[in-house]
Structures are given as C-alpha cells and as structure tokens.
Amino acid sequence: MLRHGFVSNRMTGALISPDGTVDWLTFPRFDSPAVFNKFLDKRWGGALSVLGEVEPIRQTYIVPNVLSTEVRVDGHQVKFTDLLPLGEHSFMRLVEAYSEVELEVRLLFDYGMIRPVVEYSDENARFLNPRGRDCVSLIIGGRKVDDLVWRLPAGRSWVYMNYSTNVRHGFLTKGYTLNFDLERAFKFTLSYWRRETAAVRNPLRTSYGVLLGLTYSPTSGVVAAPTTSLPEVDGGTRNWDYRFSWIRDSAIVAEGFVDVKDYVSARRILAFLLSLMNVTTKPFLHPLYAIDGSDPPPERELRWLPGYRDSRPVRVGNAASEQVQLDVEGFFVSSLLKYVKATNDVPMLREAWPKLEYLADWVSFNWRSPDVSLWEERGTPRHYTHSKAMMWIALKDVGEMASLLDEEDRWGRERDELRDWILENSVVQGHLVRYPGATDVDAALLSLPLYGFTDVRDPLFLETLREVELKLKVGPFVKRYSQDFMGEARHPFLLTSLWLARVYLKLGRIDEAVNVVRALLDVAGELGLLGEHVDVERGEFTGNFPQAFVHAQLLSTLKEMDEMGVKI
C-alpha cells in the first residue's frame, strides 16, 4: 500500500512519498488535524508537491527520522532531505538541485475542511485559519511564480514551515524579529537522531528510531501509528484512527525498549501508564488514551474525504475507547515485570506497589466478566480465552513482584480458579478456542507461552499451534482470525506473525522463524518500515503505517534470535 518514508520530532510526524510529496502532516501533535492529507483525498487534499515530470530514484534514511528522497524532475536530479526540527511544531526540507525546481505548498486546515487565507510577504507566506487564530508560516528559498507555487534555484535552498496556535506567535510575526538559523536547527536534529540511535544497528536501528519517533516526548505516550483510516483492504470499511496510546501497544513497545537496553525510554512509558491507572474501578478504564493522558475524543466520520483508494469512511477518534478490554492489565504488568527484572529498579516497583495490589485485587474480583478482546470486536462481549489468560498472567506477575518486595502474594487461589476455568471451558478437541462455545482459534493464543501461561511444548498448546497453522497461516504469516463481525479477515496480521516466529524459536524450528522475519523484511524494503497487515499477493503493507507494536515485536524477536546465534 504505502511506500512512504516517516519522519518525526516526537511531537508529530510526516509521511513522504518516493516522488517527494509530503502526503501527511499533522500540527501540532500526532492526533491533531492534518494540514497535509493527500493520501486521504488524492484530488483535493493538502500536500507539499513537486511540479513537473517527476521520476523517483531512491528513498533512504540518513539516520532514523531524517529522510533522503532522490528524484528526477524534468530530467534533472533533485535531492530532498526532510526532518521535523526538535522542540518545534515545524517541518524542514533541504533541497539540493542541479536545476530550478518548482514546489507547490497546498496547505489546508481541519483535514481539508477549511481553506486558509494566504498572506504573501517577501516570497514567504502565512496560511491563516479563517475559523481560528492558528497559522502556518512558510519560509522558502525561492520566488513565488503563482498562487501556492515557488520556483527554487539550482543549488541548496530551504523549505521551512512553522505552526502556531496564535498568529501573533507565528514565526513571521514574533520569530522573524529574532535571529534564526535553519542550518543550525537542521544539523542539531540530524545529530540528535544519529546520537540517539547509534547504539543499535540495522535491522534493529530503523525500528528503534520509529519507536522513539512514535513516543510523544512531553508525556512518553506512544501512538500506535501516526495515521488514520489507511484501510486494511482497499475500498473496505476497516479504517480506523490509530493516533492514540493503547495500553497494550505501549506495554509491547516498552518491552521492545527493554530488549535493546533502552531502559530510560521503557521506564518513561511505564511511568506514563502508571499515571493513568484508576483505583475506583477498572485499573485502566479505557483501552486507549490521548497522548497527553486525557480521555480520547469520540469517533466521528469525515464525510467530505473520499479516503485512501476510495476506502470510506475516514474516521477520527476511535470508538474502541468505549469498550471493556480485559487483557490490557496483563500486558502492562508483564512489561513492568520484564523491566524490573532487567534493571532491578526496586524504587519504581515500590512506588507502584499500591496500584499493583489494587490491580490484582480488581482482576481477582472481575475475571468472570466478558469483554471484546484485543481484537476490539464491536459486537457482543464474550469470555475470550486470550483475555482470561492475560488476566491470569496479571495475577501471576503481580505475585512475582510481591516476592521481589517481600510482600505477600495473596492471589494464588484466584489464579488457580481462573486457570481451571480456562482449561474446563476453552478447550475443544484437544486445543484452545477463541471463547467457550466456539470451535475456531485465533492467533492471539500464540502469545500464551511467550507470557508464561503455558509451556511451549505443552500438548495443549502444540495442538493449538497446529490448528493455527492449519486454519490461519498464509505463506509464512498468520491472520489474526478467520472472520469477525465485519466479515472475513483478509490479510495476515504482523504482530501475531512475529509471535509465531518467537514460538518457532522456542520450539527449535529455527528455519521457520527465520522465514517469517525475512519475509517481513523483504516487504519492508530498504526503508525498513512495517505496517499492521501484509497483502501477501501484492507484497504490500496495509492498514495504518508505520505500526508501533510490529516494530517493537521485531526488536524482541531479533533479540531472541541474537541470543540463540541465529542470523538473518
């Protein structure tokens, strides 16, 4: 689907196509309305575009989050280097051209609903929101030749856009009276990303840089992906907004950081999640939160947008926030335990202990409740096997952390009751099923030996694995399930495909594990960016992009391979 590069300054992100078009950019945050939204409205959407006959040559990372795009424009070679300067609500492009090149800056507010008032000044411009006070200031190293079009000379020149919530704060008002140095900001940001990612080598380095880029620096809330409504299937309706912090996804990302020994980033994420915990009702009342920790906004449809490849509706907000998902406490506790074991950060654990006790007590009293599972079914809640197992894992891991603090493990009886319930109600013909009364499996069950619910060689799990391979495997990958309330699940799901690879490693089926990872990296190509699903026939990722938990799980998988001496 997308072959775009991604850049971030840990506050927002942009996606750039191989022809140099900036198709997606939100200001001032990941979850803010887009000012460039062309891949959701190919005809009328906002974008920074290259005019003329454009032929892509190569797109690579100089370092993670600093993207080089080489093209030919009317036969002449041009190189764009794009980044988002640190500490600013800005986008910066360095243009290096052998001949003149024309750029069009078509900037819109509120996902294209509002067209700006444009004020031109000394070849620069301000894009003003007529329904608010916010604006985007444009400084560009060329001359204006038409509305929204600038001609840049041969050599080096800059494109710089700065967003402000108040026109009086804008760069061409307040900032323009001060000394500014675009070259310095560019070099500073380049040096930052080179330094931050230097300790990790490819293929880990790109994934590590993506995860840093998807972590909102003011809070360490992790966005699941920086985009909305990129469809699972072209022309379909499985189009969701992923620009929020899911508890589950964030916990998986924290585990990935632990596996590359970035304990500081892991701790920050876990501290953010701890700050969200409720002690009046369910510990994580919502399965997802806004990146500043506030309640997520309601889901709504943007009916004026045709969507990516006519995939409607385009949604902002995510109604999954209204659901009850009972697995998330288990993912969080498991991630915290992994961090504590790796770092011996007993002070953090001691501070968190009252909340962990409450979490375990709540799970003990509520594990008999139904939920919608990690698959976020929008139908009738059920007693999903995976959710029950993750609740058991929450009790197990809190009990283990109690021993680290010389506290009492008070949840042994509830663990035994919950495990017995799963084995009595969720087993059919020798294998686990999605929920009691079902006969089919889902790929979430692959995670159970990875999180300690069962041994990977337990006959019950081996039979479950065989059923997953028989019913859900597509090439080296696995679908998450066969179908749901919206119909058939068309494409394999990459988080669970990497769970499968990790299961194969534990079973000593090394070649099969390597095949999963190699196939994934082949689709990722030179940039190394990973999506949520993969269309095996077309060799393309589908869904929102890039996807945080897939990159995190790749880090964990490659770490386990490295420990076993397995080469990719």
* pLDDT computed for residue 8 by the predictor: 98
DSSP string, 422-474: HHHHSEETTEE-SSTT-----GGGGGTTTTTSS-TT-HHHHHHHHHHHHHHEE
* pLDDT computed for residue 177 by the predictor: 63
* pLDDT computed for residue 458 by the predictor: 98
* pLDDT computed for residue 3 by the predictor: 87
CA 84/CA 12 separation, integer angstroms: 8
Please tell me whether residue 337 adopts helix, strand or coil conformation: helix
CA angle 328/330/333 to nearest 5° reads: 110
CA 558/CA 568 separation, integer angstroms: 9
CA angle 407/331/482 to nearest 5° reads: 145
Residues in the chain: 568
Fill in the amino acid letter for 224: A
pTM of the full structure: 0.97
Nearest to 292 by CA among 242, 243, 217, 221: 221
In the numeric block, the tokens 């041994």 are attached to 455
* pLDDT computed for residue 178 by the predictor: 66
* pLDDT computed for residue 73 by the predictor: 98
* pLDDT computed for residue 169 by the predictor: 81
Q: Domains, the chain, ranges and CATH?
A: 5-194 (2.70.98.10), 199-563 (1.50.10.10)
CB-facing half-sphere around the CA of 42: CA atoms within 13 A: 6
| Low-confidence spans in the chain with pLDDT less than 70 | 1-2, 174-178
